[in-house]
Each structure stands twice: as structure tokens, then as C-alpha cells.
Amino acid sequence: MDAPHPGFVADSLDRRIISALQIDGRASWHRIAAALGEPERTVVRRGTRLLDSGLVRIGAMVVRGRSTVIGVRCAPGQARVAATALARRPDCAFSHVLTGAWDCVAEVQCPRDRLAGLVMDELPGLPGVVRTLTLPVLRHVRTIREWHAGLLTETEIAALAGGTPASTAAAPADLLPAFDGAELARSDRLLVNTLAEDGRCTYDELARVSGVSEATARRRLGALRREGRVRVRAVIEPVLLGLPVEAVLWVRAVPAAVDRVAVALAESPHVRYVSFVTGERQLLALTAFPDEAALHDFVTRSPWLDEAASVEVSMILGSLKRGGMLAPWLRG
């Protein structure tokens, strides 16, 4: 389902530049070169090639509410249709087609006062739906924007993150107010809409589009990002990092061990996303591996399995949306 990229091979430096952009999609090439210890001219050339190819996309997403994971079981032949319908929702962060009991999984940002309408009215109206599973996220342990496949050192991560090392420890992350995009001022909405198309556009471009001064555009974007109302992220296919095998893990642990299992999952470079969710299985993880053998080892030999009661594995067959950005062939 994912569009192939014939002829392009990302080497180790390409992958490190991609990882840097995942930490800060708006980091200057100068800052990335300094953090990685590489010549700036080389980083500019490699990074520009990655962005121009469309293999790496930088975009902004407005935080519209608290996260809810949705599983959908579909009528035969309708999985792609349902996953696409979910992906086209502006409040959808990701949408994947799966193997296993659920045909697709998505995350939407829904204020809690609108959750009943989502469950009772909106999801049953999706094309081809037979059954839905709604799992409000109680806490994010790791989100996609915090994942960089273990290709950078802690020192490099700190330099790119403004001196604050990224942490994989379980910490409250979904505790910001449930903002709705409509609450943004008109100039801020114009600014964010522009960033959604090109997360690396200059402050001069942002100022012209939103009708404010360059200094105001810089200040407003900084404030929106600090407040957690806007997230700028790099969106990639894990295959670019040598991780073509993706899977969703639905993990159940005894209550006293859930925190420890969550932290252990988040410490793995193969775990791109892990959240506490409601339901029978408390943890949902999105993972990526170099091959099926590595996935098998992870779900049969990892130390965290000692405290896991059950693990269900669903392979990701295709992605319709990642990081709030539609797959290229759905845009337009």
C-alpha cells in the first residue's frame, strides 16, 4: 500500500540527518551539522535531497484534544476504505491497515466532551465498519515525535533538543488542556496551515502568509510550540531507517507491573510509540524492525515479557497517515 521509492538508498549519514529532523523538524542545517559533527555543506546537500524527494516531510499538527485510539473491524474488502476515511479526518494523527483481529487502527484527538458523539455517531458511520474499539489514551509514554531509532548519542540529542536530553521514562504527556484548532486566532491559524504544508518554511514566509511581522511570527510559533498547541514533526517511512517490518503490539500486564513494562518498551529503539490505554490490554505500541526475525525475538525473548500477561501482534500492511500528514498518494 505504501508507495515505493525506487533507486533511493539512505546511508548512515542520511539516517542520522533524518533522526535529527525527527527531534526538531525546524532545526537549521547549521545546528544539525554542529550536533552531528559533520560538514555543514554535506548536511545541507543531503538534507535538501531528502526533503526534495518527499521521503522526509516536515509538517505541523494542531493539538485538537486528548488522544483516543480506535480499532476497526471491517467488511471484506473495506479495510483500505475505512482507514482512508479515518486518515482524512483533520483530528487523526495516524491510520494504519493491519493483520489480525482489527483491520485498521488510528489515533484521533478528541476532546472528552465530544467522545460520546465520536463513539455513538461518527465511527458507526464509517464505510464498511462492522465493529469498532475505542480506547482513550490515559498517558503517552513515547510518541512518534520522540522516536529516532537509536541512531544518535545522548549528547547529539541534547544539542538538537536545545540542551534538554530526551527521556524515555514514563512521564505524564497527555495532560495539556484539550485545545481545539478553532480557538486559535486567525493569524495563528494561517501560520499553522502554512506549516502543515511545509514545516521548514522561513519566518519571512510565515509572516507574509499570516499578515504579521517576522518577529511576531517567530514569537507566536515559539509560544504555540511551548504551550503544546502545535507540534512540528518529521514524517518518514521507517523503511528509510532500515526498518521495513512494522507491527502493532497490544500488551496486557498485571496492574502492578504496567509502569515497568511501559518503561521497558519505551527504552527500545524499535518502539516508535507506546501509550497507556483503557481496555483489557493496557499498552499499545507501534514498532519497527529490520526483519521478521527481529520482531519474533522482541516478542519472545525480551526481558519485559517476564511481567507481561499477554502480547498480541498485528502487522502493519500500509499507512494512510503518519504524524498528522496524509500519505502522498492521498494528498491533492
Average pLDDT over residues 189-199: 88
Q: Provide the pLDDT for residue 55.
A: 83
Is it the case that residue 62 has pLDDT exceeding 90?
A: no
Cα 272 to Cα 298: distance, rounded to the nearest angstrom: 14
Q: Residue 170: is its pLDDT beyond 60?
A: no
Lowest mean pLDDT among 136-145, 164-173, 223-232, 278-287: 164-173
| 233 φ, ψ (degrees, to nearest 5) | -140, 155
Q: For all residues of the chain together, what is the average pLDDT?
A: 87
d(CA 239, CA 130): 32
Beta strands in 182-307 (DSSP E): 230-236, 245-253, 271-277, 283-289
Confidence of residue 328 (pLDDT cuts 50, 70, 90): confident
The residue among 227 and 12 whose pLDDT is bigger is 12
Residue 173 has pLDDT above 90, yes or no: no
| Confidence grade of residue 5 (pLDDT, cut at 50, 70, 90) | low
- 312 near 97, Cβ under 8 Å? no
Neighbouring CB atoms inside 10 A of 286's CB total: 25
- Residue 269 in this model has a pLDDT that exceeds 60: yes
Helix (H, G, I), strand (E, B) or coil at 148: coil
Task: Note the Cα 3 to chain centre separation in Å.
Answer: 18
Residue 9 — very low, low, confident or very high, per pLDDT cuts 50/70/90?
low
pTM (2 d.p.): 0.84
Mean pLDDT throughout 202-215? 92
Q: What integer pLDDT is reported at residue 141 of this predicted model?
A: 93
Distance CA 240, CA 2 (A): 12
Torsion of the alpha carbons at 128, 129, 135 and 136, rounded to the nearest 10:
70
In the prediction, which pLDDT does 163 show?
A: 44
Q: What is the pLDDT of residue 7?
A: 53
The residue count of the chain comes to: 332
- Reply yes or no on whether the pLDDT at 169 is more than 80: no
Q: What are the pLDDT digits (tens) for 71-97?
A: 999 999 999 999 999 999 989 999 999
CB 216 within 8 A of CB 204: no
Which H or E element spans position 321?
A: strand 308-322
The Cα angle at residue 18 between residues 16 and 20, in degrees rounded to 5: 70
User: Cα(243)–Cα(146) distance, rounded to whole angstroms?
Assistant: 17
Q: What is the pLDDT of residue 175?
A: 39
Amino acid letter, residue 128: G
How much is the average pLDDT of 155-164? Answer: 77
Q: How confident is the model at residue 177 (pLDDT cuts 50, 70, 90)?
A: very low
Q: What is the mean pLDDT of residues 4-16?
A: 74
